[in-house]
Chain A
Amino acid sequence: MNLSPETLSAFIDGELPLEEMHRIEAALQDRPDLLAYVEQQHALRTELSDALSPAMNAPIPDRFLKAINETPTSWQWQISHAGGLFAPRNLAWTGVPAAAALACGLLIGINVGRDADIVNTNNGLVAHGQLAEALSNKLASNAGAGPSIGISFRAKDGRYCRTFATQSATAGIACRDASGWAIAALSAAPIEVGSQANYRPAASAMPDVIRNAVTGMIDGTPLDAAGERQVKAEDWLTH
């Protein structure tokens, strides 16, 4: 039998196929020096574990827990996973003019009307009512009633844009221009199934298509809280 140091090492760690393990085990019976080495290696493993056990057993410093619980996740991850508990109802689309999709009835359940979140105008779909109000005034960090705001960012075309989810289970991106908040992308939002009478959009729920649209539109990284406040003070308009 040809037994290399690698094979012997893998034997000691139980990393070989069962048949080979048995074969080597039998062959070692005639090699007391190798048997002793194997025993020694098992002892070595115990020594190593013991030597390092204080690191395993020491109390966990508070600063680790603080780091785990307070370090913000990357914005890319936040976009991908916010509201990820719920399977998106994939009525989504991107790259199709919003008005066209609306006309084709693709956006089932979207609330369009005098008190709607989104209205169809000569300039295309724009945010309206509560949604327009939230887009203009709500900071991303604020929870609370009404439409929720995900992230705010500057788009490559220079406009400031915000992701949103409405109470009628619609998620999208709205970008501020002179006419108001133009809807740049729209999708059915993931919704919480089995909730009470009304659908409640998952906080910051963000379907894949919206996330992908953000990735394509964004210039740099999302605004942080201070950046948001500053741009809000300028009514989200680029100067």
Chain B
Amino acid sequence: MDAPIDTIRRQMTALLPRLRRFAVSLTGNMTDADDLVQDTIERALKSLHQWQQGTRLDSWMFRIAQNLWIDAMRARRVRAGVLGDPNDAENVAVDGVRDNEARLIYAATCRALKELPEEQRTVVALVLIDGMSYRDAADTLNLPIGTVTSRLARAREALAARVFGAGAKPAEVMQ
């Protein structure tokens, strides 16, 4: 039987791909994302007593990553292009095999993500990309669920318009 810390370290390891993807959503490039993941791991272990056992480890670590990123942006006034150059596939497309069409879609998607306000991008990263429920995203971000819902509604309209072009937004939602 493992000691509790061994179980936690194993859960953290299993969480790495998702944590890394979340970090890329926040930072927009692998270099910053990997530094953020590293910092998140270290911060989490060094403040492990602040994690309430029985609550979600993933939500807690995502929250740490988000807070660290906000701090980092404040501290160094991150360069204007938060997501880097979307045409620079090296930023994210580390598999290096994406074809041109995929690269274009990727570029448009990343550009759209980049242009979202930070608060909307985070919600998109948790719900649309990571697949969290609204409740879990709200818990992760310490927000009311209604705020998550409204940020997401605004974000997805903006994203669709940018990725798919004009006319993506329905002419009228209210009936």
Contact = CB atoms under 8 A, between A and B. Distances in A.
Contacts of A13: 127, 134, 152
B173 A5 contact: yes
Contact of B30 (A10, A43, A55, A68): A55
B68 interface: no
Contact of B134 (A15, A53, A74): A15
Contacts of B94: 54-55, 58
B4 to A, nearest CB: 5
Given A48-B128, A52-B25, A68 B175 contact: no
A37 B128 contact: no
A48 B127 CA distance: 11
Contact of A4 (B17, B169, B174): B174
Interface stretch (A76-84, A141-149, A155-163): A76-84
Contacts of A226: none
Task: Give the bracket for the number of chain A residues in contact with chain B.
Answer: 35 or more
Contacts of B50: 74
Interface stretch (A59-67, A92-100, A168-176): A59-67
Given A37-B168, A63-B38, A9 B152 contact: yes
Contacts of A45: 128
Interface string A8-33: 11101101000000000001000101
A74 B51 CA distance: 11
B46 interface: yes
Contact of A31 (B46, B95, B175): B175
Contact of B124 (A12, A34, A48, A58): A48
A212 interface: no
Contacts of A50: 102, 105-106, 109
A74 B21 CA distance: 26
B149 A10 contact: yes
A20 to B, nearest CB: 14
Nearest to B159: A44
Interface string B1-39: 101110001001100111011011100001001100110
Interface residues of B, number: 62
User: Do most interface residues of chain A lie in helix, strand or loop, or is the interface mixed?
Assistant: helix
B67 interface: no
Contact of A56 (B18, B102, B174): B18
Contacts of A108: none
A37 to B, nearest CB: 5
Contacts of A51: 92, 105-106, 109-110, 113
A123 interface: no
A77 B13 CA distance: 19
Nearest to A81: B4
A55 B48 contact: no
A179 B160 CA distance: 76
A196 interface: no
A37 B149 contact: no
B87 interface: no
Interface in B142-169: 149-150, 152-154, 156-157, 159-160, 163-164, 168-169
13 contacts: A6-B149, A9-B153, A47-B163, A48-B159, A50-B102, A52-B24, A54-B94, A55-B21, A64-B37, A68-B41, A72-B45, A73-B5, A74-B46
Interface of B: 1, 3-5, 9, 12-13, 16-18, 20-21, 23-25, 30, 33-34, 37-38, 41-42, 45-50, 92-95, 102, 105-106, 109-110, 113, 124, 127-129, 133-134, 149-150, 152-154, 156-157, 159-160, 163-164, 168-171, 173-175
